[in-house]
Amino acid sequence: MEVSSEYKYKTFKSKTVTGEFILLGVSDQPQLEMLLFVVFLVLYIMNLVGNLAIIVVLWLEPSLHTPMYFFLSNLSFLDLCYTTSTVPQMLVNFRSTHKTITWAGCVAQLYVFLSLGCTECLLLVVMAYDRYVAICQPLRYTIVMSRRLCLQMVATVWMSGFGNSMLQTILTVRVPRCGRNRVDHFFCEVPALLKLACVDTSANEAEAFAVSVIFLLVPLGFVLVSYGYIVAAVLRIRSAQGRLKAFNTCTSHLAVVSLFYGTAIFMYLQPPSSYSQKRGKMVSLFYGIIAPMLNSLIYTMRNKDMYRALRRVRGRLFGSKRT
């Protein structure tokens, strides 16, 4: 008896939305798994320690209770969540012969990873605006960057990131895969999951491109405009020491912007035909794991106020232990 095409589609669809995915990672090069396990375990611990240290210092040090450091504490918390959404599962798979993730786990990982990525794109814009007001309108800084406005901007950033990613996640996981479940990636991400589709994904790719323009190019444009005004204002400062001080308040943020936007744009704003799975995996590891870890190092080593506050808090904690 011949099976109807409608029955086949329903069967494929049921396989698509149930069961589990196999995350291939570097299973074709098993000799690398132990090395990668050690490297990413160390990076993850550094990320946890660095970002937790920033959050604790900003909470305990009253002199850093300013809008700039309020946004930095949000960035550190975001980076903690960003890496935690993917790295623990990666570490388990590196040491396991059964490199799987449940369908629900994959959907949750995809949604959280997308949401935090979109949130970081917008948060970096807010941080650039904060620097613009501080340098270009210093006399009005405390009035413009009020506590209420800072809270509203942060709340908007988080809600926008998680709201947008809901639609993108649904559209990605609903694509029929006809039973295919071998994801050539370290974790669940949009380009890798779309590669499993057994139907035309042009609409999904167009939607992903449009979202990338909105959450990558548009925010980057605002950041560049902000820094255009900042550079113009700094160049009008007569004192060389004053210019250097103004630039130093922006260098950490500029470094973070370059790391994050550069790799994310390379990943999401290339034509599907030129997408390389192997290259995409490496780029994803950089902006999803390595860049968040570098953020904490950049802000603690490049920011003198942050570095001094870290030493003061460490001294107080060690002093309390002696007594």
Residue 243 identity: R
Give the residue among 176, 160, 167 at the shortest CA–CA distance from 126: 160
Which pair of tokens denotes residue 250? 């922006």
Which pair of tokens denotes residue 40? 């990413």
CATH number at residue 259: 1.20.1070.10
What pLDDT does 319 receive? Answer: 61
Give the domain extent around 37.
5-322
Which residues sit opposite 22 in a β-bridge?
A: 100, 182
**Quick one: CA torsion of 94, 98, 99, 103, rounded to 10 degrees?**
-150
Domains of the chain: total = 1
What's the number of CA atoms in the CB half-sphere (13 Å) around residue 299? 28
Rounded-to-integer distance, Cα 278 and Cα 89, Å: 19
Which pair of tokens denotes residue 241? 């020491």
What pLDDT does 99 receive? Answer: 83
CA 23 centroid distance within chain: 20
What pLDDT does 14 receive? Answer: 41
Tell if the pTM clears 0.95, that is, is over it: no
Rounded-to-integer distance, Cα 208 and Cα 77, Å: 26
Query: Which whole-number Å values give the CA distances from 149 to 120, 130, 156, 220, 222, in the listed order?
Result: 18, 11, 10, 21, 18
Please give the sequence-ordered ranges of beta strands (E in DSSP) within the chain, or none if there are none: 20-23, 100-102, 182-183
pLDDT tens, N- to C-terminus, the chain (323 residues): 444 444 444 444 444 445 788 888 777 777 788 888 898 899 899 889 888 888 888 888 887 888 988 999 999 999 999 889 989 988 888 888 788 888 899 899 999 999 998 999 999 999 999 999 988 888 899 999 999 999 999 999 999 999 888 888 988 888 888 878 888 888 888 888 888 888 888 888 888 888 888 888 899 999 999 999 998 888 887 777 777 777 777 887 888 888 888 888 877 776 555 555 666 677 777 777 778 778 877 776 666 677 677 777 777 666 654 44
What pLDDT does 147 receive? Answer: 92
Sheet holding 20-23, edge to edge: 100-102, 20-23, 182-183
